[in-house]
Every structure is written in structure tokens, then in C-alpha cells.
Amino acid sequence: MRAPARFHDGERAKVHDVEVALGPDRLTLVIEGTTLPAPLRWPLSDLRALRGQSDARRIVVTRAEDTGDESLQSPARLEIEDTAFRDWLLATRPNLFARDTRPGTRRKVALWLGGAAAAVAVMLFVILPLLAGTLARMLPLEREIAFGKTVTAQMERLLGAREIGALDCTEPAGRAALDAMTGRLMARQDIAYDLNVRVFDHEMINAFAAPGGQVVLIRGLIEEAETPEALAAVLAHEIGHVVHRDPTRAALRTAGSVGLLGLVFGDFAGGAAMLAVAQRLIDASYSRTAETEADAFAHRMLAEADISPAAIGEMFARFREIGGETPGALAHFASHPQLDARIDAAQAAIPEGFEPRPLLNDAQWQALQGICGADDQ
């Protein structure tokens, strides 16, 4: 076996025209050339070829050697274009394309992977939430209210309103009943916010709190509530979010975590979807705590207003009837903690010797259910 080749010695940017041959011991490759001071002998087992080269007619050979650089290969290169010799190398040298890695590489990778994951996790689950909490408290009240109005306006547009206020339900009798309900809940409370409770005309069964004391009940929820107490329970729960500044905290926290997650996932195809899923998981883990705390707040608020805290359980039981509980595997994605646990907690929150006082009379309740106008009833 003998063939012409081009050789670079790895020390100078020079081409040596050489001849390569199998050594007499059949264990070495001998490289000979007139410009080389002495023939080189490379052990066959150390031969390596460059991977992923665009020119398949040619093979570039080097030798395995720890020179301290990234490749674990000698800087010398042997370019072989001779078909027979190339095919012989490919056929007889199984280690030709071996990937050499330095010992301890796995440990290093594991260490850095763990370190990076830990840093990201500490940021997402400790530092950002703490910072969001602190900053939410520092935000001036009028700014929080202004921000809340922007959020509700966005929500309104999302629900299909052409202009701001188009979805507002303002039937006077219903409005009066809603104010009576809010007044009853707030009678013994002292909170920093001026509550602004609104009703949007949409069939969605939902309610939400926005920063700065904005609470929105959606028509679907009012229609599905079986008693005024059940509706008051949802309202109390949302007031709990307002008092805990949950929406403001969530907005600030998301601002921090979106940029961070974008960094981790990069912009490969599907990266945006990964980001959305991850953000959802993180939000869910936070909001579980937030929901439980809002529930606890609602229990106290209801009891102090002489309404049974069990009303909140009543509403959840109704939700389950309509929607069914999220099955186990998907539970982590749902932002509301398991309904069963919440119903039990509501039952347990009834104080000893509790005497409920009726909340609304039949006429008031009917007016409230028709707050968006009679045509949908």
C-alpha cells in the first residue's frame, strides 16, 4: 500500500509533497518526503480522520494526541486523494472517526448543567418572586390603578369589545344589588384600595382581578351562580387577589421571567412554544399559592360579613358540575388548586356558633342576574 499525499506538519503553513505507505511492521503509517527531515511513523491505531468534510473524494488524516487544544488531535494534517488508499483506510481502521474526549468531560458537563439549572431556578422561584413582591408594594397607588385600567381595557378588547366600556353591564337595579353585595362584604374591612367592581357582558364563566382594585365579574358567572352567597364568595376571592396585589406581582414577575426563559430556549424552531409551556408551568406553581391565600382571605371576609364561607365550596362544586375537574396529569397546568381540597377548606373555615344573615332578597338577586339586560335571560 503506497500513495502520494499532501502533508502539513502543523508547525509551518507549508505543503510537503509526501508518499504514505504501510510500515514494514504493518502497525504504522510511514510518511516520507524530500522536504521532511526524517520519515514520520504514525501508529495505525492513532490515525483519525476529520469528520463532516464537504469533499468526499478526499480524506484528511491526523493522529490522536493530547496537545492541550480543543481537538485532542495533532495539528499535523495529511490530505489523501488516492482512492485505493482512502478506501483501504476506511475499511481497515474502525477508529478513524472516533470521538476522543478528555477524561472528566462528563463530570464537567454535568456540573455546569446543574449549576446553570440551579441559577435559573433560584432566579425564577426565589429572587424574582421576592423582588416582584417588594416592587409591587413600592408602586404608587395611583400608578397601580392606572396600570389596572390598562389591563382591564385589554381584557375587554380580548372579549370582543370594539371600544372601552362597550361590554359594561349597567342595568340600574342590578347595579344597586351588586353595590349592596360589595358594601356588605366591605362593611367591616379596611383596605387601601377603592374597589371598582364591574360586570362584562360575555358568556364566559369567569371573574378576574386587575391591579389597583379593579374586579371584573363576567355575565356567565353571574348566571351560573345559584345563590347570591356563591357569587359573593367569588367576589371575596377576587378582592383577596387585589389586597395581596397578586396581579401586580404576577405582571412584574412575568416581565423578569420571560426574558430569562427566552435566553435559555433560544430561537430554534419550536423555541417559542417551549417558552410558552415553561412560562405556564411557572405561573401555575405561583398561582397555586396565590389562589390558596385568596381563598383564605375570602373565608375570613365572608365570615365577617355573616356569610357562610362554605359558599365558596358551593361555587366550586358548581364549577365542577359544569367543567369537570382537571384530571391528574394536567393538574399541574391548571392555575386553580384541586377543587376538592378547596371545598374541604371552605367547610372547615366555618367559625363555631356561626349564624348566617341573608345577603340579598329575591328581587335584588333577580335584578343582579339581569344586570346585563333582560334579553339574555
Q: Which of residues 184-223 bind another protein (CB under 8 A)?
A: 212
* 64 touches another protein by CB under 8 A: no
Backbone angles phi, psi at 186, to 5 degrees: -90, -10
* 163 touches another protein by CB under 8 A: no
* 363 touches another protein by CB under 8 A: no
User: How far apart are the two ends of the chain, measured CA to CA in Å?
Assistant: 95
* 37 touches another protein by CB under 8 A: no
> Residue 19 and residue 189: Cα distance in Å, rounded?
95
* 362 touches another protein by CB under 8 A: no
| Closest by Cα among 78, 74, 79 to 63 | 74
| Closest by Cα among 199, 186, 185, 176 to 311 | 185
> Residue 297 and residue 236: Cα distance in Å, rounded?
8
Amino acid at 255: A
* 137 touches another protein by CB under 8 A: no
- Contacting residue, 25, 66, 67, 361, with another protein by CB under 8 A: 67
Taking CB under 8 A as the binding criterion, the range among 129-137, 193-201, 305-313, 321-329 that sits at the site for another protein is: 129-137
Is residue 156 within 8 Å of residue 201, measured between CB atoms?
A: no
| DSSP annotation of 126 | I
* 162 touches another protein by CB under 8 A: no
Is residue 39 within 8 Å of residue 21, measured between CB atoms?
A: no
Taking CB under 8 A as the binding criterion, the range among 2-10, 22-30, 225-233, 315-323 that sits at the site for another protein is: 2-10
Closest approach of Cβ 54 to another protein, in Å? 4
Backbone angles phi, psi at 47, to 5 degrees: -65, 135
- Contacting residue, 76, 230, 282, 368, with another protein by CB under 8 A: 76
| Closest by Cα among 71, 61, 67, 70 to 95 | 61
* 268 touches another protein by CB under 8 A: yes
* 10 touches another protein by CB under 8 A: yes
Closest approach of Cβ 260 to another protein, in Å? 5
Taking CB under 8 A as the binding criterion, the range among 61-69, 86-94, 201-209, 328-336 that sits at the site for another protein is: 61-69
- Contacting residue, 25, 87, 90, 108, with another protein by CB under 8 A: 108
Closest approach of Cβ 278 to another protein, in Å? 10
- Contacting residue, 89, 144, 213, 247, with another protein by CB under 8 A: 144
| DSSP annotation of 123 | I
* Cβ-based nearer residue to another protein, 330 or 374: 330
Closest approach of Cβ 295 to another protein, in Å? 27
Closest approach of Cβ 292 to another protein, in Å? 24
Which residues 41-60 are close enough to bind another protein by CB under 8 A?
A: 50-55, 60
* 333 touches another protein by CB under 8 A: no
Closest approach of Cβ 236 to another protein, in Å? 26
* 352 touches another protein by CB under 8 A: no
* 267 touches another protein by CB under 8 A: yes
* 266 touches another protein by CB under 8 A: yes
CA dist list (Å): 11 to 19, 21, 75, 308: 19, 22, 8, 87
| DSSP annotation of 127 | I
Is residue 303 within 8 Å of residue 350, measured between CB atoms?
A: yes
| DSSP annotation of 165 | T
> Residue 239 and residue 243: Cα distance in Å, rounded?
6
* Cβ-based nearer residue to another protein, 192 or 341: 192
| Closest by Cα among 337, 144, 137, 124 to 244 | 137
CA dist list (Å): 116 to 107, 110, 122, 237, 301: 14, 10, 10, 38, 44
- In the structure grid, which three cell numbers stand for residue 72, read together? 485532542
* 264 touches another protein by CB under 8 A: yes
